Structures are given as structure tokens and as C-alpha cells.
Chains A and B, each alone.
Chain A
Amino acid sequence: MTKRWALVVAAGVLALAGCSSDLPDDQASAGGSPSSDATKSKFFDQTEYDRQLKFRSATPQGPDGKPWEQMLEPEMVDTAKFAKPGGKYTLCFSNAAVNNPWRQVGFKTMQQEVKLHPEITTFTVLDAEAKDDKQISDIQSLSGKNCSAIIISPNTTATLTPAVEQACQTGVPVIVFDRGVNTSCPVTFIHPIGGFAFGADGAEFLKEKVKPGGKVLALRILPGVDVLEQRWAAANEIFTGSELKVVGVEFTDGDAAKTKSIVADYIQREGRIDGVWMDAGATAVAAAEAFQDAGVDVPAIVGEDQQDFLRLWVDENLTAVAPTYPTYQWRTPIIAALKILKGEQVPKEWVLPQPRITDDKVKDYVKQDMPPLHYAMCGCEGMPGYPVPWK
């Protein structure tokens, strides 16, 4: 009998272990009901939404054909006090993680950008492996490494703010990019337009392509991440003001098999689906395949700029759009650091253009020889050594 009860305990522990390893799922239970489409998300911010939508049509300043050097409505700040003429710079970079294809492509692009500048003698990178505590100690150790400038891609916003403030206090110029922090102490904060614009790009496309009353399925990765929440908040805003019917909002955990199962279930449940909106395109191919395997045409679909999706789009002649969160933004921090060290002005908030790929341009972005998970908007085609490091 004792042995039996010991087994019950073991199984209970196992069950708990299983639950706790599925954190996104647990979080999903907090806000993941399909009925949430009727209400406004707490992540919705009308002022920021309007600002981002306006940015989409604004003309950027900067050199043509080099979007990673362009800026939207910049407010320049003086950096003379950081000027350090003579070159021989040591750039330090605290990276949140390289744990997904987007960050992989981005980081490789950044490394190649460093190679373009002989005045950078050392490029020190610490990878936080997606852990806040590791990134905090990474930033602290960089502060003592004689860096000419510190570049930070924060893992999370709130937790990393004090660490970034500490780095600023060392007097070394600090550059933050991708996700932000709640402090204005970095010399510049570099990011593409943002989540609202991304979400709106996809939602507006569906509003245009799907007939009124059509059924739209929204697929999200996981709740609670502000960048992703903003994308959905914008899409939700547009769907609410349209005649489209959002039949479901589901979390996929970014898992292709789960995505495919969810879409197959919806095709069965609803009879037909007229549009698919996604907050990130990594599983767009799986979603499209679910329609193919069910023997129906792939409806209007929102993807992203990954090669596998772009190829499917061209091969199958899909009705699709690909908003992008361009990986070329990884080039900009290096460029910004050198500008600062030369005493040139940089924008306080460096907003990069955030293009979307539409049907008329998609063929230009398909690169047959690149890996399927490569992001087309890397701005890396012209770099010396392309395409070997990205393969």
C-alpha cells in the first residue's frame, strides 16, 4: 500500500512539473477566451495607435534604399560629450537571446555590420539566453569592461530598466533597440514603427480582401507580451469597426502542429474560414497547409517575411500580405554607436520604417537559395560575404 501511495505522490509531482513547464498555457487561461474580440484590450493606446498608423505613410529621412539608416520624424540630440575620436572602439552588446530564427538572422546581420567598420577593434557579446537575471549581471559585467558604447536588446521591459539605468550612470553611451525600457537615459532607442502598425497592416488587408460577413480566424502566439498584445489590439480595433466576423482567437504557442490542428478544427467547426490573421508569421505555412490538407482553397492570409511563407505565397498564388518586423534593425545600433562616438547627432527615438510585403512585390523577396526560416527583410543582400553567414 505504501508503494502505491508513493506512486500517487510521484504522479502528482509529475503532473505539477508538466503544468509548470507549460507556462504560456497557464498564462493563456487568464485572458484567452474567444469572446475577447468584442472588448478593447488594456494594451490598446489610442494616441500611440494613431501615431504608429501615421508613421506608416510618413516619408523617412535618410539615404534611399538603406532603410536601416532611415528615420521617421526624428528629434535629434547632441552627442558631442560622448565623442571619442581616433577609432579603436570596443563595442559591447548585451543580447536578450538568440533563441528564435528572427533573432538568429538579426544577430548574424549585426555581426556582418560590425565587420564593415574597421574602426571597431573589439565586439564583445554576452547572450542572456532569455533570462532577465542573466542579462542584469551581463550588463553589470559589461560596465566594467572598458566599452566605448553599450548596446542593449532588453529581454523584458520593466525588469531590465534598473540595469539599463545603472549602465547609463557609468558615462558610457547606451543604445537600446528592439524592445524598450522605461527610462529615457539611453542616448537613443532604436525600433521599427511598432506592434500597432504591424497588426493593422494585416487586419486592413483582410478587411479589404474578405467579403462583408466573412469569417476570420485570429491566431496568436501567447498572451501578455506587449509587442504581440499591441499587434492584436490594433487588429481587434479594426475588426470591431468592420463587418468581418471574428470566429475565434486562439493561442498557438508558436507551434506548427498545434496551429495546424487548431485551423483544421475551425474549418470543421465553421464550415469555412474566409481569412486568417496572425500576430506573427512563423506558423503561417502550417495554417495554410491545414486548408490544403482539408481540400479547400487557402483564404486571405496574413504571414510574415520568412522565406517558407513567401515561397508558398508565390507557388500557390495565395491572397496574402506580410507585415514585417524588419531584421535590418540589427544593423542600426552599430551605425548609431559609431555616429555617437564620432559626436554626430542621433535621434532620441530612432523610428525605422516598417515595410510590408504585398502581392506585387513578393517575387522580389523570394530567395530560393536561402533557408526556409530566413527573414527576407534583413537588409543583408548587399553585405560582403552574403549569403554564406545566413545559411
Chain B
Amino acid sequence: MTWRPRLAEGTAPVLVVLLLLLIGLAVAGPAYDEPSGYLALLKRAAPLMILAIGQYFVIVSGGFDLSVGALVTAGVVIAARLINGSESATARVILLVLAFGLLVGLVNGLITTKLLVPSFIVTLGMLLVLDGAIFLWTGGAPRGALSAGFRTFGRGAVDVPALGEVPWSVLILLGILLAAALFMRGGTGRALVAVGDNEAAVRLSGGQVDRLRLLAFVLSGLLAAVAAILLGGFAGVSAQVGDGLEFRAITAVVLGGVLLGGGRGSVVAAAAGALSLEALFTLLNLLGVSGALESAVQGVIIIAAVAYASLGNGVRQRLRWWPQQRDSARPAQPAAS
């Protein structure tokens, strides 16, 4: 028996795509001759990758979270207003933003699980509520300013032995990614995937379906708050910072081979999907393609990736890179990364 890397189903294609894009970047841009270029790319992709990880938890358990974009905007606007340029408030406000994300996730999750409203509707409603509330509060023009301390996480770098200057956001991303991968290998993570695959089976076997779903939404909200801190740090205060991010995160997750509707896909692949998306946009820009194509590209990706996933095992088996022995009658295995 030959050794195969332990990759969850659907991880290999996105890694191939990512590799091709990175090679494309190396050819197209002189800045990608050295590690710093890739670090810059990773720094820019970090917020989206973190959002994609959060979105993954919700999607793999059978839901959607459309509220993350509005939540990011809310996080940045609230932070700016409360910090108002004062350095001493930074730590307190960061905790508050994280708590706010947690709370929004909790509300999303409770309404979905207790009131049995489909998550698509709940989070769409939350998106509108947050958008409206932000507009009402700011009148469309955010006030206040972020402190230098707050912006360090999105903008600054730290000296790491052997690697040199590594952006804070990259370190935070790696920490979250590692934790998420470990979590998905554990019992709770596997149960989360199982909920997306067959809710009834999990319930009958004594699993806490509602609690698992709630956890997914809370994690998504919390990670959206982290993304808000990084994005606010990267570019400063703006009332448009989160526009369209929910859609971008879902595209990234789908590009990572995660099945919409849940039950299949790995968290590392979802993060790789986000990095691929960012790399693709960077490459298009380097090639001089208008940025206006971004939404068209996203639309094509999401339709193509979902269609590919829906065509069923038959086509996938034929398209598979390396042969794999498996019993196709067996239900999809809870994926681990």
C-alpha cells in the first residue's frame, strides 16, 4: 500500500488550483520572487481566510451565514466610535468587538435552532438589521478613529526568528487555522460535519444537534469579529469595509470543495479556497484585467464549484487524480483535514 497524504475529500483540487495560481503570480509579478511577496499576499488574504473558516463551520453543519459582512462593518464602526483615537481604550474595545461578534452569532444560532427559522433567512435578516442599525447610528459617515494599537494587528509586523518580519495578521491566521484543523479532527468537529450530512442520524445516536449548530454560528460570529479587527487595522475606518464579504467568504468555502448543504469538506480546503480567491484577484490585477470582473469571476466560481459537487460521485470518480478504493454506497465520511 502506498502512502497518500491525509487529505479530506475535496482538498486536493483546490490545492492544485492554488498552486497553479501561485506559479502564475511568480511568473507575472517580480515581487513574488521572494517570500516577502507571498507574505504580503497572505497578509491581505488573512481576513477573508478567517471569515471562510467561520463560514465553513456553518456551511458544513448545513447552514448559511450571510450576516458576516455586515458584522465586520459593525465591528469596525463600533471600534472607531468607542476608541476615538485614544490608545488606552484599545484593549477594552477589542474585547468588546469580539463579544459583539459572539453575541450576534449566538442570536443567529438561537433563532435558527430554537425558532426553527432557516439560517438563510435568519442571517439575511441579521444582515439587514445590522446594516440598518449601522446606518442609523452613523448616518452613513462613521465617526471616531482607530488607535495605532488597534491597527497594529492588521497593519503591523513582528520579528520572528528565522523568518524575519511576519505580519501580525498572518500569525493570527495561522493560529486560528491550526486550532480549527485540530478542532475538526476531534469528536465535536466530526459531529458537526455529521449534523450537516444527516441530522436525524446524529439526533438518534444521541448527538446534541442544536448545541452543535449553535456552536457553528457562535464561531462564525467570533471569527467575523476577528476579521473586523484585522480589516479595520489594515485600512482604517470605513462604512463599506464589509460590503460583499459574506458572498466572498461563501465563494471561498465552495471553491474549497465544501458541499453547500453540509456534510462534506475540510476546513483547510475552505481556507485554501479563500487564499486562492485572493491570489486569483491579485493575479488578474497584475495581468491588467479590470477589477470590475471580480464579481463576475465570483459568480462563475460559485456556480461551477457547486455544479461540480452536485454531479455526484460518478463524474468525480472519473475526474479523480489518483485512484482510490472506496465503497460508494457508504455515506460520506466525516471529513478531517
Which of A's residues lie within 8 Å of B, judged by CB?
A: 1, 3-5, 7-8, 10-12, 14-19, 21-22, 25-29, 32-34, 97-101, 103-104, 250-251, 253-262, 264-265, 268-269, 271, 285-286, 289, 293, 308, 371-373, 391
The reply on B210 being an interface residue by CB < 8 A is no
Stretch at the interface among B93-101, B140-148, B185-193: B140-148
The answer to whether residues A373 and B143 also contact, given A11-B260, A29-B292 and a CB cut-off of 8 A, is: yes
Name 14 A/B residue pairs within 8 A (Cβ), A-sorted: A7-B260, A8-B307, A17-B247, A18-B244, A25-B292, A25-B295, A99-B139, A101-B141, A257-B231, A258-B291, A269-B31, A289-B155, A308-B236, A371-B145
B236 A4 Cβ-Cβ under 8 A: no
Q: How far is the CA of A22 from the CA of B155 in the complex (A)?
A: 27
* Chain A residues closer than 8 Å to B235, beta-carbon distance: 255-257, 259-260, 286, 289
B290 A33 Cβ-Cβ under 8 A: yes
* Chain B residues closer than 8 Å to A253, beta-carbon distance: 240, 243
B250 A19 Cβ-Cβ under 8 A: no
Interface centre among A3, A17, A33, A257 (most CB of B within 10 A): A257
Interface of A is mostly: helix
Interface centre among A33, A104, A254, A371 (most CB of B within 10 A): A371
The reply on B178 being an interface residue by CB < 8 A is no
Beta-carbon nearest neighbor of A104 in chain B: B141
A19 B299 Cβ-Cβ under 8 A: yes
> Per a CB cutoff under 8 Å, which of A19, A21, A98, A261 touches B139?
A98
The reply on B310 being an interface residue by CB < 8 A is yes
- Report the minimal beta-carbon distance from A19 to chain B, rounded to whole angstroms: 5
Which of B's residues lie within 8 Å of A, judged by CB?
A: 29-31, 37, 40, 44, 85, 120, 135, 139-145, 155, 231, 234-238, 240-241, 243-244, 247, 250-251, 254, 259-261, 282, 285-286, 288, 290-296, 298-299, 302-303, 306-307, 309-310, 312
Q: How far is the CA of A289 from the CA of B231 in the complex (A)?
A: 14
Supplied contacts A14-B247, A255-B243, 16 more A-B pairs, CB within 8 Å: A8-B307, A15-B299, A18-B295, A27-B292, A29-B290, A29-B292, A32-B292, A99-B135, A103-B140, A253-B240, A256-B241, A257-B238, A260-B235, A268-B30, A268-B286, A271-B30
Q: How far is the CA of A100 from the CA of B143 in the complex (A)?
A: 11
The answer to whether residues A1 and B236 also contact, given A15-B299, A99-B139, A268-B29 and a CB cut-off of 8 A, is: no
B143 A371 Cβ-Cβ under 8 A: yes
Q: How far is the CA of A278 from the CA of B144 in the complex (A)?
A: 24
- Report the minimal beta-carbon distance from B207 to chain A, rounded to whole angstroms: 21
* Chain A residues closer than 8 Å to B294, beta-carbon distance: 25
A371 B310 Cβ-Cβ under 8 A: no
The answer to whether residues A26 and B303 also contact, given A34-B288, A257-B241, A260-B235 and a CB cut-off of 8 A, is: no
- Report the minimal beta-carbon distance from B247 to chain A, rounded to whole angstroms: 4
* Chain B residues closer than 8 Å to A265, beta-carbon distance: 282, 285-286
Q: How far is the CA of A271 from the CA of B31 in the complex (A)?
A: 9
A15 B139 Cβ-Cβ under 8 A: no
* Chain B residues closer than 8 Å to A285, beta-carbon distance: 236
* Chain B residues closer than 8 Å to A254, beta-carbon distance: 240
Beta-carbon nearest neighbor of A18 in chain B: B247
